[in-house]
């Protein structure tokens, strides 16, 4: 994880002084060289005023991600030196606290980012003072992405088998309670539906999952969890 707050933009930021008289700068090219022998940075917060205004080649966001859009993300400021972001600047630290708090709870970086934007609308909307780039499904640096369940295990037995089909039919008829109740996995949208029953990847639970499950046990395609809240195996 990398975190930076400094004067600068998308390609360079001031990180010190030379002889106490002039800025010393770190550039995106420096990052490219320094981490050349390492995997992409899983998460980077670019807290320069214009740090996330650009995310293409030879920018901090790009070099930390090594251009990847898988299992890596960067978040940060854009336009913080402009008058339209003045109010967002006042909320910038609480916004960061919200972002990291949601991430620590296990939310994806994108979900945490969106909720922080909703919590502090002065930073969102047309002002667009906070920016995101990378994998929208990435769980973040805390490595807690996902929910503790087995795909299709609606009866809480710890596995997926024909009994789950029977239990699922009973649940949809109102005759059984969900074994992974709403809110038990606090990652949107997992907190709004019976997520462990979703076996067709629709991020919902209904009769189509029963049909998919029956086909699976007859030799059909493997269960597919909701991409927004995959199980931790």
**Distance between CA atoms of 226 and 141, rounded to whole angstroms?**
21
**Distance between CA atoms of 51 and 8, rounded to whole angstroms?**
7
**Distance between CA atoms of 229 and 135, rounded to whole angstroms?**
14
Residue 99 backbone dihedrals phi, psi, to 5 degrees: -55, -55
Q: What is the residue-wise DSSP string for 162-225?
A: HHHHHHHHHHHTTSS--SS-TTSS-STTGGGS-GGG--BSSSS-SHHHHHHHHHHHTT-PPPB-
137-173 pLDDT, tens digit each: 776 655 445 677 889 999 888 899 999 999 999 999 9
Residue 175 CB contacts under 8 Å (≥ 6 apart), including other chains: none
Whether the predicted pLDDT of 127 surpasses 50:
yes
**Distance between CA atoms of 226 and 202, rounded to whole angstroms?**
6
Report the chain's mean pLDDT, rounded to a whole number.
Answer: 89
- DSSP collapsed to 3 states, 25-81: EEEHHHHHHHCCCCCCCCEEEEEECCCCCCCCCCCHHHHHHCCCCCCCEEEEECCCC
Count of alpha carbons within 13 angstroms of residue 121, beta-carbon side: 2
Whether the predicted pLDDT of 18 surpasses 50:
yes
Residue extents of the structural domains in the chain: 2-134, 146-233
Q: Please give the pLDDT value at position 146.
A: 66
Residue 223 CB contacts under 8 Å (≥ 6 apart), including other chains: 151, 152, 160, 199, 200, 212, 213, 216
Q: Please give the pLDDT value at position 19.
A: 76
Residue 59 CB contacts under 8 Å (≥ 6 apart), including other chains: 10, 11, 28
The angle subtended at Cα 126 by Cα 122 and Cα 130, nearest 5°, is 60
Q: Please give the pLDDT value at position 218.
A: 96
161-171 pLDDT, tens digit each: 999 999 999 99
Tokens 């050349």 found at: 36
CATH number of the structural domain 146-233: 1.10.1330.10
First to last CA, the chain: 24
Quick one: average pLDDT of 207-231? 92
Quick one: average pLDDT of 219-223? 95
Contact indicator for 17, 24 with CB cutoff of 8 Å:
yes
Q: Please give the pLDDT value at position 143.
A: 44
Question: For a pLDDT cut of 70, what percent of the chain falls above it?
Answer: 93
């Amino acid at each position: 994880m990398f975190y930076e707050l400094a004067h600068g933009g998308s390609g360079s930021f001031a990180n010190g002084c030379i002889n106490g008289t002039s800025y010393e700068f770190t550039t995106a090219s420096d990052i490219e060289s320094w981490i050349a022998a390492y995997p992409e940075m899983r998460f980077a917060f670019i807290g320069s005023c214009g740090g996330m205004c650009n995310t293409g080649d030879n920018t901090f966001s790009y070099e930390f991600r090594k251009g990847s859009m898988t299992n890596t993300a960067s978040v940060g400021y854009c336009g913080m030196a402009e008058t339209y972001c003045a109010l967002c600047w006042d909320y910038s630290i609480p916004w960061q606290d919200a972002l990291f708090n949601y991430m620590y709870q296990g939310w994806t970086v994108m979900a945490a980012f969106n909720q922080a934007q909703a919590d502090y609308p002065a930073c969102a909307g047309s002002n667009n003072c906070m920016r995101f780039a990378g994998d929208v499904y990435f769980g973040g640096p805390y490595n807690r992405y996902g929910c503790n369940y087995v795909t299709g295990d609606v009866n809480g037995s710890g596995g997926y088998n024909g009994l789950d089909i029977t239990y699922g039919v009973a649940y949809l008829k109102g005759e059984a309670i969900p074994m992974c109740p709403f809110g038990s996995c606090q990652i949107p949208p997992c907190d709004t539906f019976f997520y462990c029953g979703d076996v067709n990847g629709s991020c919902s639970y209904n009769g189509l999952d029963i049909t998919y499950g029956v086909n699976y046990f007859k030799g059909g395609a493997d269960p597919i969890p909701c991409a927004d809240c995959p199980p931790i195996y």
